[in-house]
A and B are shown apart, each in its own frame.
Chain A
């Protein structure tokens, strides 16, 4: 394994991709490394050699893969922490074996990130030429027939977003300075992610919107499903971070997930008690980071067993985003729900001590 903090999906799961490619005898769309069926299996796992990367409704992955197979662009929508980026990375890795052609959308993303820039030294020395051109990830994806990923599409300024329209509809990128164009090779496509909550930031123009098929990623449907997601990811992350072996009790994970789910939905799991929701999103991703943090604490400063005290600090930090109002919400939740719950005494004490 390469010595990097976080290997790309195609490196980390190279073995699984190889297995799938070897057994895959179904027709592959031009430019694809795997057949759509094998891509679906790669993402959802087959219960044996292929580990599941995404745990959720099968139909979502099927629609996503089928969309990419029709050469339509894919827009993954969802609240923060619903594995949009995660899924787009794995889809890109499985389809084109390259998940690195990435444009991160920010308020400062410029058009060059979608189209091309110039190497000014060469431009001045040699005049405009293809050699003086610095291609963007999108341009490279077009010329190699790979998947380009655009993260947080709605955070980009609208004019930058609209640069994608020609790319998506004409599948060409004109370079007027050279009187040339780059035409997309089969296999090129775009996966964009956008945040549901930020919908208002830079709303997609309807011209761009209709070039995407939209898939909404839901928050995990049930507590069991979410526990499964969290425990799997925590184990993976701990391994990647080379944390000393800890006994990651499923019990602790279940508690954190329960706390997150209850605060998110504003109601206890048994539906008996209404509670206030804090201002944060409390996504699955945050639950994962709380637990990974806890595992690190337990490994380095504790006795190697994940205990309530190890997650208490993290969970308090995740819930209390607004120091005033969220603290009240959290306190109320602790006193009215956690305190009364059987077998949660240690958790209650640990969280209360955090205050």
Chain B
């Protein structure tokens, strides 16, 4: 004769967990059936491994299809976990009896609206709220546990009443059909005492005498996919977010406490809270704790509850331990009520090789994943830190967001700062990334290669379209940071092919600085950047060739845009020059020289936009390619009356970008500008005034002042040169008023002085 006991539980309910543990010890079943995916039956044995430490989750995923995965999280205080532990310790088989994940994951989730509603239900919680409890666990303790009798009969009765008249959804009906079928099979296999641990909600359905045929009919022909199941570490913070079981947990730390503390939970909790506050240097005495316990109890009595729950305990901590201050209350909330904790899985857990590789590397580099956020400063001159940095960069390329770089505090390119936080979803991401390779490095390389796309062949465009130029150059930078020598050549070849075919010089110019920077990084990190230099050279050559064609006939906006690119390339070329001088030390002309030569050619053209013409002159002047005399010639040419004033002014703007120091220190330049200004007619001056203001307004005030002083030093006539005739008749009245004010002021002053002296006598 087979006996079947149905243990209806509250998912993640410590009260249920304790009851399940005791009930199983009493029943001594020879098989335990647990709500969960049957694919995980083989993994149950791992629970005996002491290295499998909750919170952990069963992860079922469809290989190769990221996003189709489901989790069944377990905490120490989950009844399901206690059932698993019992089976492991007693040496009896444990099986999962829910609908296989193969079916559940076969249908895309969005096809079943309204389904989550059923899963999310917490019927015991609802009963507790109806009875006026805000903490279902305290209700369980009050109402269910203190009944003396086995609580599960009470639960079954209550659920039968709650479910009365409920028509299960199709999915729910199937799940329950599968649970019944699993029970039946176990009985057929000859197990005599079967214990089923499932959500309380399902108990009445499992007790129904449904014929096997009806269930088989319901379960026939369900869609199916291939799924893989494994254990992954989980966090308390994510216990609430579900895929498998419903019932979120807002206060996992409190539940853990309820489950693990043998007795007097309120006293122990408040003592622990006092400990947390003391650690932060807040003076909390035992007297405080005593009073807090008393307040919690009397508050519970006032609210008509036999036992204090989390609500009362929190209020007591606030009023007594924290003296009404909210900040320490938050501290308790964060540290204790939520109590961020990360589970562990043993090495023998089925893992994709990528996970295993990461685990090895974490161990080797002494980087333990934690659920609490922490900061890490790396000094790239140390080999260990360099390895760590590479690992984190590789993971970013794989989309695993364990570390996020943040602004470094220290100076120098050898420092890197990271914020590390390990979320359970990272395991899923790793599993998804497993298709790319078996080690982090290989996978990251493959991912980068995929990202870069195929080099576009000259004829037909390839299937894998190459990424845009700027994306490619950023990829190059990332490759160097992550030290992926296998991926770099590919990206570089795609890059050079792309650059060769790219007809837009501005895009090339925009990409060049990143390449130049990448070379520099390479130096710091000791990576070889040989390929990079040649690509940069080729890109520069194309820029030099293409620039003359791009530069003519452009409007104001395009000119301003091009100007930033020219500046960018100009500073990048300096980097390239350095690198090449160190590497080659001769041969072909240095990149900088070629760039300047190209600019020189362009600068002689007459159809340039004023802004660009001005800037080119300045660049060439700064580089010493063009001497001061030539600049003077260019300046006077640009400013000659033959040009429209607007062009002249924009020339000045391009020539004097942002700083007036050149004008301060170069007297000849100043003279040129000054002469040009004073020679303007009134109409012309009014026309260029706004543009002049724009240029000179950008100078720092001290610069403006010293320019003014220089101008005055050149001779009063230039400085004071009036540009308009004064109309004596119209000014007369004003002059008179000013004179009167001055006289009055002078009189007052003399009077005051006299008074002062007489007082002194």
Contact = CB atoms under 8 A, between A and B. Distances in A.
B520 to A, nearest CB: 44
Given A37-B304, A209-B323, A210-B287, A62 B295 contact: no
A214 B291 CA distance: 12
A179 interface: no
Interface string B277-311: 00000010101100100110011011110000001
Interface string A184-225: 000000000000000000000010011001111000000000
Given A37-B302, A37-B304, A215-B324, A210 B285 contact: yes
Interface string B616-649: 0000000000000000000000000000000000
A63 B315 contact: yes
Interface stretch (A17-25, A64-72, A327-335): A64-72
B22 to A, nearest CB: 34
B398 interface: no
B303 A63 contact: no
B323 A62 contact: no
A59 interface: yes
Contacts of A59: 311, 315
* Top-5 shortest CB links A-B: A214-B324, A66-B299, A216-B324, A66-B298, A213-B319
Nearest to A29: B298
Given A213-B320, A214-B323, A215-B324, A63 B291 contact: no
Given A36-B301, A59-B315, A214-B319, A66 B295 contact: yes
Interface string B357-398: 000000000000000000000000000000000000000000
Interface residues of A, number: 21
Interface in A6-60: 36-37, 40, 59
Nearest to A27: B301
Nearest to A74: B319
A111 B316 CA distance: 32
A67 B298 CA distance: 8
Contact of A215 (B287, B288, B291, B319): B319
26 contacts: A36-B298, A36-B301, A36-B302, A37-B302, A37-B304, A40-B302, A63-B295, A63-B299, A63-B315, A63-B318, A66-B299, A67-B295, A67-B298, A67-B319, A69-B298, A69-B302, A72-B294, A72-B320, A206-B283, A213-B291, A213-B320, A214-B319, A214-B320, A214-B323, A215-B319, A216-B326
A66 B311 CA distance: 14
Contacts of A309: none
A77 interface: yes
A209 B299 CA distance: 21
Contacts of B298: 36, 66-67, 69-70
Contact of A70 (B285, B295, B324): B295
**Main secondary structure on chain B at its contact with chain A?**
helix
A281 B298 CA distance: 35
Nearest to A71: B294
Interface in B132-184: none
A83 to B, nearest CB: 16
Contacts, number: 58
A100 B311 CA distance: 34
Interface of B: 283, 285, 287-288, 291, 294-295, 298-299, 301-304, 311, 315-316, 318-320, 323-326
Q: Which of B304, B316, B318, B324 has the most CB of A within 10 A?
A: B324
Q: Which of A63, A69, A206, A214 has the most CB of B within 10 A?
A: A63
A77 B301 contact: no
A239 to B, nearest CB: 32
A213 B295 contact: yes
Contacts of B320: 72, 213-214
Contacts of A206: 283
Interface in A48-107: 59, 62-63, 65-67, 69-70, 72, 75, 77
Given A59-B315, A213-B319, A72 B291 contact: yes
Contacts of B315: 59, 62-63
Given A70-B291, A72-B320, 20 more contacts: A36-B298, A36-B301, A36-B302, A37-B302, A59-B311, A62-B302, A63-B295, A63-B315, A66-B295, A66-B298, A66-B302, A67-B295, A69-B301, A70-B295, A70-B298, A77-B324, A210-B287, A213-B291, A214-B320, A214-B323
B324 A65 contact: no
Contacts of B304: 37
Given A67-B295, A70-B294, A215-B319, A210 B288 contact: yes
Contacts of A69: 298, 301-302
A63 B292 CA distance: 11
Given A70-B294, A213-B295, A62 B303 contact: yes
Nearest to B291: A72
Contacts of A75: 324
A63 B294 CA distance: 11
A194 to B, nearest CB: 10
B319 A63 contact: yes
A191 to B, nearest CB: 14
A290 B42 CA distance: 75
Contacts of A65: 302
A153 to B, nearest CB: 14
A63 B319 CA distance: 8
A42 to B, nearest CB: 13
Nearest to B322: A214
A59 B324 CA distance: 13
A210 B285 CA distance: 9
A211 to B, nearest CB: 9
Contacts of B294: 70, 72
Nearest to B324: A214
Nearest to A217: B324
A216 B327 CA distance: 13
Contacts of A40: 302
A195 to B, nearest CB: 13
Contacts of A67: 295, 298, 319
A214 B294 CA distance: 14
A210 B301 CA distance: 23
B305 to A, nearest CB: 11
Contacts of A62: 299, 302-303, 315
Nearest to A59: B315
B297 to A, nearest CB: 8
Contacts of A215: 319, 324
Interface string A104-144: 00000000000000000000000000000000000000000
B118 to A, nearest CB: 33
Contacts of B311: 59
B284 to A, nearest CB: 9
A69 B303 CA distance: 13
Contacts of A214: 319-320, 323-324
Nearest to A212: B323
A209 B284 CA distance: 12
B485 to A, nearest CB: 53
Interface in A243-284: none
